[in-house]
Chain A
Amino acid sequence: MADVILKPIGNFDLTVEAEVVTPDNFAGKTADEIGKVLVWQGPAEYPLTDFFTVEGNGGSSAEDTTIIVDGDVPRVKRIGQQMTAGKILIKGSAGMHVGSGMEGGEIIVEGDAESWAGMEMKGGSIHIKGNTKDHVGCAYRGSWKGMTGGRITVDGDAVSQVGGGLSGGEIIINGNVKHFCGIRISSGLIVVKGNAVRTVGAEMTGGTIVVGGCIERFTPGFELVDIESDLKFNDIECPGEYKKFTGDYAIPQKGKGTLYVSCDNNECL
């Protein structure tokens, strides 16, 4: 296993588009060559060494390459975009679009991540230990298909549009979410351990959403069908009693989605 260590030094007054920072791209390159890789900042391209010091060579293949970003980079976007294998460890906060469209491998963010983490992700895993913002695993604006595979875990909170258009894969939010969690999902699983504000599962046509906390304003297009306890989805456990709803019946495609809501925290439902 070869480690490439990127230590942020640069001026990030404009955000940097770093879609080239992937194990696929760094494999087979020396530290020198990696430093010369170009990234966009605003309207111009600069070598990576303008923003980071580079230590260590890439491995022989993407699987053998680990990239360690040693510090906070909230203004560096698209780290790990479309990566297929290997590992990226960000020892701080990550910018927007971390791991968007990724197909395999692993990304760990020790701090927070900005919006669009794992947008339209196809496989692999992203673990965000802090909080994140909007559009986790979501579809691009206007697009119908969000994440199709893989797993995103967020230890803290996410904001709105978690898993919008999800059509596969799993998203686990250990904290709270706000609006439009799981809007238009057709397949896959979203587990929110904390609370949600409103419009959970709006326009869903399939898939499963679990909310362990309280939903402040419940979406009207759902029907209560059952009460189940101690849910288990492979290795994901949701202890306690849950009300099982199906929906969303508010749209022409009669919903075959399932929405589980904790009984204890939603007595009024």
Chain B
Amino acid sequence: MAGTIAIKNGYVYDPLNEIDGEIMDIFIKDGKVVTQLSSADMKDVKEIDAKGKTVMPGGVDSHSHVAGAKVNTGRMMRPEDHYKHYQKRTPLTHSGTGYTVPSVYLGGYEYSKMGYTTVFEAAVPPMEARHTHEEMRSTPMLDMGGYLVLGNNWFLMRYLKEGDVDKAAAYISWMMKTHKTYGIKCVNPGGVENWGWGENVGALDQANIHFEVTPEDMIKSLSELNEKLGIPMPVHLHANNLGHPGCWEITRDSLKIPKSVKAKPNTDVEWAETKRNAKRHESVYLTHCQFNAFGGTSWRDFESGVKGITDYVNSNDHVVMDSGCVPFGDATVMTGDGPAIHDLYVLTGHKWSNTDVECECGSGVLPFEYLKSNPIHSSQWAMGLEVLLYVKDAWKSIMTTDSPNGGPFTKYPQVIAWLMSNKAREDTFAECHKWAQDRTGLGGETREMTLNEIAILTRANPARTIGMSYRKGTLGVGADGDVAIYNIDPKKLEVNDYESIIRGFENAAYTIKAGEVVSQMGEIVAIPEKNTFYTDIAVDADDEKSMLADVKKWFKYYTIGFDRYPTPEKYLANPTPIQVNAEK
């Protein structure tokens, strides 16, 4: 029976239900988790013996770059990323190439092999939404959604300058529906707009050139609007000055801005059973903290500034963040932060690409290699791990590599090994530049994460943070039947033998999506149906009408016609709107 499965005797980790390695059975019927199966169901159910194995909800990546214009630019400008890394087609799967920026098919398969079932594309420029959805539609195995880039949008900056909050709210809700996106992304607020004139912004109270809006205005207004509209996830913030020595201070100060904003996600969905409160209470979601946590004043006295940020996070409850770990090796840097990419070009001399997305945002792409022998890179490696290890409560952090910025998502198993094993970290310290030891505090950190904490960082918390835990990141009754079973026996696990951790997480023994086994020990065995999530926000019709009049009037400055602007539903695989009730 399709979507019906019984997983027997595994060590189950379901942090949202406070299940920490208990031996139990998980039953899935018609793609959803149920308490038990009737004897009629049991007759032709697929039974999986998970004895001696680790069972977790399917992995959820709340921040990855896997689809859209900048990812595609990364593929095009890096032929060398493809010619050694390829996979032949099989009767079931497509061929594919690419290491740091795999083709869409390969990307889907590789996530699935690691036990992931849900991935959110973290930056969708409005004008490129159609392209992004086309690529997401072609990415197999994964349920997906995208965050709309709004931190330098002309309409928003104009409405905020004029103080017209209602129109701004109407604009955001219309844009979410129009581009079928899920949440708000805010990249280098104010700075990317200035980059159109070769400038950036360096301080939170620095107004940008033509709109005279400061980063502080932008962060404050976007987070307030986010909650006013009841969007499921907090504003996904990429802070200003990213990648500059000393940027940790502006990052911490940015986090203070939405402190008084109360989280009010207001979605019209049915919630799976969970013991913990599965709703978010944070008003800001800081992205790739490591890149925002540089200390010192120049590259000469560069040091980790992570502690400054994690101290703040530890003592405040309105912040959640993802790490942006650096696992060494090849990467492709891609971001909506155009000026940051230019700085990297000046630093490295590598080829780079830069785009201005008309009245909306910008972006840049640059190939990169993180070397153990490089003092800065080795410090960044340590800092990415510091971010996760210094935050006392795992429910405030999420493990990512900002794939492919810090490194490709296929390195997650390696990052997990560093988090779980002191020895793994010590061995890497021995191989890399001494700055990692001297300029960061990772060497003094002895925390070794448990499998339960890993389950929080890689599925439960990303799902909860972005408001998807009503069906993802948990094995509570009513949740999606997405399960990852790893060949790791928690009773026999020896963390000093970290290679076994890497092996275990690299190829899930089983990846189950909606009750169907889709990949088994690194081999794709079925191509599941997939869903694309977006928020559908109801707002006042009059506000929408007057806002649309403004937008249409300005559309003459766009290079595409107004009718060509929206992304119709046919560009989405199984479009799944999430009804959101805006505050009236």
Contact = CB atoms under 8 A, between A and B. Distances in A.
B20 to A, nearest CB: 46
A252 B80 contact: no
A144 B332 CA distance: 14
A193 to B, nearest CB: 30
A143 B349 contact: no
Contacts of A253: 349
B77 A251 contact: no
Interface in A140-166: 140-144
A141 B351 CA distance: 13
B346 interface: yes
Interface in A233-269: 251-253
Contact of A140 (B79, B345, B346, B350): B79
B83 interface: yes
A140 to B, nearest CB: 5
B77 A142 contact: yes
Interface in A162-213: 203, 205
A256 B315 CA distance: 50
Interface string B63-84: 0000000000000011111010
Nearest to B78: A142
B349 A141 contact: no
A143 B80 contact: yes
B369 to A, nearest CB: 8
Consensus secondary structure, chain A interface: loop
B349 to A, nearest CB: 5
A142 B79 CA distance: 6
Contacts of A143: 79-80
Consensus secondary structure, chain B interface: helix
B349 A142 contact: no
Nearest to B80: A143
A251 B352 CA distance: 14
A140 B83 contact: yes
| Chain B interface bracket (under 10, 10 to 19, 20 to 34, 35 or more) | 10 to 19
A140 B80 contact: yes
Contact of A141 (B79, B345, B346, B367): B79
| Chain A interface bracket (under 10, 10 to 19, 20 to 34, 35 or more) | 10 to 19
Interface string A132-146: 000000011111100
Interface in A26-52: none
B346 A142 contact: no
Interface in B338-371: 345-347, 349-350, 367
A253 B345 CA distance: 11
A195 to B, nearest CB: 29
Contacts of B346: 252
Contacts of A251: 349
A163 B443 CA distance: 42
Of the listed residues A139, A140, A141, A142, the one surrounded by the most CB atoms of chain B closer than 10 A to its CB is A142
B333 to A, nearest CB: 14
Contacts of A139: 80
Nearest to B350: A144
Nearest to B351: A142
Contacts of B81: 142
A141 B83 CA distance: 10
Nearest to B84: A140
B455 to A, nearest CB: 39
Contacts of A142: 77-81, 367
A252 B77 contact: no
Nearest to B76: A142
B350 to A, nearest CB: 8
B367 to A, nearest CB: 8
Nearest to B83: A140
Nearest to A203: B349
A219 B346 CA distance: 21
A243 to B, nearest CB: 26
Contacts of B349: 203, 205, 251-253
A52 B546 CA distance: 77
A203 B347 CA distance: 15
Nearest to A141: B79
Of the listed residues B78, B79, B349, the one surrounded by the most CB atoms of chain A closer than 10 A to its CB is B349
A144 to B, nearest CB: 8
B89 to A, nearest CB: 12
A251 B349 CA distance: 7
Nearest to A184: B349
A11 to B, nearest CB: 26
A193 B350 CA distance: 31
Nearest to A253: B349
A144 B348 CA distance: 12
A203 B348 CA distance: 13
Interface in B209-264: none
Contacts of B367: 142, 144
A251 B79 CA distance: 23
A137 B80 CA distance: 16
Nearest to B369: A144
A140 B83 CA distance: 9
A141 B79 CA distance: 6
Contacts of B350: 144
A143 B350 CA distance: 11
Contacts of B78: 142
A101 to B, nearest CB: 10
A137 B146 CA distance: 43
A82 to B, nearest CB: 11
A142 B78 CA distance: 6
Contacts of A141: 79-80
Contacts of A144: 80, 350, 367
Nearest to B347: A252
A178 B211 CA distance: 52
Interface in B549-571: none
A33 to B, nearest CB: 24
A251 B77 CA distance: 20
A20 B507 CA distance: 30
Contacts of B345: 252
A257 B345 CA distance: 20
Contacts of A252: 345-347, 349
B154 to A, nearest CB: 32
Of the listed residues A141, A143, A253, the one surrounded by the most CB atoms of chain B closer than 10 A to its CB is A143
B211 to A, nearest CB: 32
A140 B347 CA distance: 23
Interface in B459-504: none
A143 B80 CA distance: 5
A249 to B, nearest CB: 13
Nearest to A140: B80
Nearest to A251: B349
A25 B347 CA distance: 43
A102 to B, nearest CB: 15
Contacts of B83: 140
Of the listed residues B78, B80, B81, B346, the one surrounded by the most CB atoms of chain A closer than 10 A to its CB is B80
A205 B78 CA distance: 21
A251 B350 CA distance: 10
Contacts of B79: 140-143
Contacts of A203: 349
6 contacts: A141-B80, A142-B79, A142-B367, A144-B350, A252-B347, A252-B349
Interface of A: 139-144, 203, 205, 251-253
User: Which 9 residue pairs spanning A and B have beta carbons closest together?
Assistant: A143-B80, A142-B79, A142-B80, A141-B79, A253-B349, A252-B349, A140-B80, A142-B78, A252-B346
Given A142-B81, A144-B80, 7 more contacts: A139-B80, A141-B79, A142-B77, A142-B80, A142-B367, A252-B346, A252-B349
